[in-house]
Amino acid sequence: MGFDKLMAPLAGAPVLEHSVNAFIHSDAVSEVIVVCPEDRFKQLELTQNGTTIKRVDGGVDRHNSVSNGLNALAPDCTWVAVHDGARPLISQQQISATLQAAQQHKAATSARRITDTVKRANAEQCIKESVDRENLWAMETPQIFSKDLLLEAYLKVEQAQNVVTDEVSALELIGIRTYLVPNSTPNLKITFPEDLALAELLHTASE
């Protein structure tokens, strides 16, 4: 990006602020742990809305950051939603739907079917082969799990010194299948500068 994408302005507020407030205002959420540096956290205008809000530092890798967040949870917490701060358009309806699926299946994630033609390329960006898109899904967040299962999965990650790119991958290490919850609303991850302009349009359209 060339700049801090989580603090980039989106509809008058930082990207991260939109992401966090979606969970603060969800009836399904009682506690929010924001994993980020203190100076970044102080720039956010968060509305309490009866929700407990805490901040903890991140780690070297994603799984270190998630582990830090897990360690800060209240002892009586039973379900954990992990969400990328760079997905500011998550809806409260999708948060609730994913939680309901997790409570039924122990593990669930927001996701979308891949409908594009998919190609695998080489390092020179030349196509090597086609990839069958049948039953292919793109992972989104939140990814919601039983707290005990997620703790068990991350213990396995640390013991094996694996690097995982999401929590679904961590659950796979202990043989747990994650249920896919189709998301019908935009939930893009801010990755490239042009994503901010698209997110701005989508945010405006949803109001």
Q: Tens digits of per-residue pLDDT, 99-153?
A: 999 999 999 999 999 999 999 999 999 999 999 999 999 999 999 999 999 999 9
According to the model, what pLDDT value does residue 49 have?
A: 82
Judge whether residue 1 has pLDDT over 80: no
According to the model, what pLDDT value does residue 2 have?
A: 66
Q: Which among 54, 86, 50 has a CA at the least distance from the CA of 68?
A: 54
Determine contact, residues 106/176, Cβ cutoff 8 Å. Answer: yes
Q: Tens digits of per-residue pLDDT, 85-94?
A: 999 999 999 9
For helices 193-206 and 15-24, the axis angle rounded to 10 degrees is 40
Judge whether residue 3 has pLDDT over 80: no
Judge whether residue 207 has pLDDT over 80: no
Q: What is the 3-state secondary structure (H, E, C) of 46-115?
A: CCCCCCEEEEECCCCCHHHHHHHHHHCCCCCCCEEEECCCCCCCCCHHHHHHHHHHHHHHCEEEEEEECC
Q: Tens digits of per-residue pLDDT, 53-68?
A: 999 999 888 888 999 9
Judge whether residue 34 has pLDDT over 90: yes
Q: Tens digits of per-residue pLDDT, 164-202?
A: 889 999 999 999 999 999 999 999 999 998 999 999 999
According to the model, what pLDDT value does residue 205 have?
A: 85
Backbone angles phi, psi at 143, to 5 degrees: -115, 125
Report the alpha-carbon distance of residue 201 to residue 207 in Å, rounded.
10
Domain span at 52: 5-206
CATH code for the domain of 173: 3.90.550.10
Nearest 10 degrees: Cα torsion 91, 205, 111, 156: -50
Report the alpha-carbon distance of residue 80 to residue 66 in Å, rounded.
11
User: Taking residues 66-81, what's their average pLDDT?
Assistant: 95
According to the model, what pLDDT value does residue 56 have?
A: 97
For residue 120 the two structure tokens come to: 């695998």
Name the band, by pLDDT with cuts 50, 70 and 90, for residue 163: confident
Number of domains in the chain: 1
